[in-house]
Amino acid sequence: MIQQNRLIQEFISLVQVDSETRFEQQISEVLKQKFKAAGLTVEEDDSADRSGHGAGNLICTLEAAALDNAAAASVPTLLFTSHMDTVAPGQGIRPQIGTDGIIRSDGTTILGSDDKAGIAAMLEAIKVLKEQGIPHGPLQFIITAGEESGLKGSRAMDPKWIKAAYGYALDSNGSIGDIATAAPGRAEITIIFQGKSAHAGVNPEDGISAIQVASKAVARMKLGRIDSETTANIGSFSGIGPLNVVCDRVKLEAEARSIDQVKLEAQVHSMRQACEAAALEAGTTCDFISEIVYASYMHEDEAPVVALAARAMQNMGLTAKTFHSGGGSDANIFNGMGLPTVNLAVGYKEIHTTQEHIAVSDLVQTAELVLAIVKEAAKGE
């Protein structure tokens, strides 16, 4: 049912459109045209006004088809989501298909399968639904901007756009059949240590080195892998000044993640305590600013959103495998809006590097999976 060559060409055309995060204008216009041409209603929200990105999120709606009135009442609305932006270097991508059936860039850029593989699979599934007259319930396809910049597009989205009962993000690493049923919440942290300047050679004892204070604070923190559900990291440490002056200001930027929201808050609290204790001992102060930018989510294997995907996979001859992800995605945001959402693996590998690649067979199976979920949902709840 999936037309492999058409799907490949769709994917190739999408990755050749420059769309590094914050510069989504061109890809947004291309996608509007493609979804409209496929017969969907396409709307763009006003999130760009808040996110600072080149486009808003696209909300593409396909009305139910070929269902009798009795069946239509029991068929849930589904949402499929992928993001339109990529990481850098993502300009001038030149994709190529090897004799091994693997699609790669020329090695100077990323490929962009994260996440244009998901978008191409959606478009192909929509075409097959229409060509084959396959019965289906109402479908939403939300293509977000700014995912690679910290989920900024979906975070700026008004929940009013969500009409679905279940959501499926096509944006996870792993093999087709893998389902990320849990992902961590994330806190972003900025810490500023105040010191006191003094001449480093004449009277250093009159100064307070913000670098020393910050270093002692970091040394007190438990970082890296905290437990099976929790991590923490210092991403940057900056204190710049002349060599002959005791540094009087240091800025740290950090993050903490956990699937367990209580553990996340506890980790942030322990990092705050380490900073405040080090500052107090040095006779100075620090500013500790933290924000939970998105919440965690977790679904049991028996949850309807998981069970529906698992049945669809079984229909394809696949065995569903659930796992807990270590990274956030738009699925976190949609769960936070009250929409049960899981993240489905699409088969891409070595993303965010110039070695990124995806197998043609995985592209095909991703499109087949979208179709299988839609058809399984059409059987009614």
Catalytic positions: 85, 147
Which residues contact residue 75 at a Cβ distance below 8 angstroms, ignoring those fewer than 6 apart?
A: 64, 67, 136, 137, 138, 377, 378, 380, 381
Distance (Å, whole) CA 318 – CA 158: 36
Distance (Å, whole) CA 132 – CA 55: 33
CA dihedral of 275, 278, 281, 286, whole degrees rounded to 10: -40
In contact, 293 and 150? CB cutoff 8 Å: yes
Distance (Å, whole) CA 298 – CA 114: 23
Nearest to 379 by CA among 132, 141, 163, 136: 136
Distance (Å, whole) CA 37 – CA 40: 7
For residue 302, what are the CA distances in angstroms to 305, 308, 335, 342?
8, 9, 17, 13
Task: Give me the helix-helix angle, 4-15 and 360-377, nearest 10°.
Answer: 110
Distance (Å, whole) CA 343 – CA 323: 10
Distance (Å, whole) CA 111 – CA 157: 27
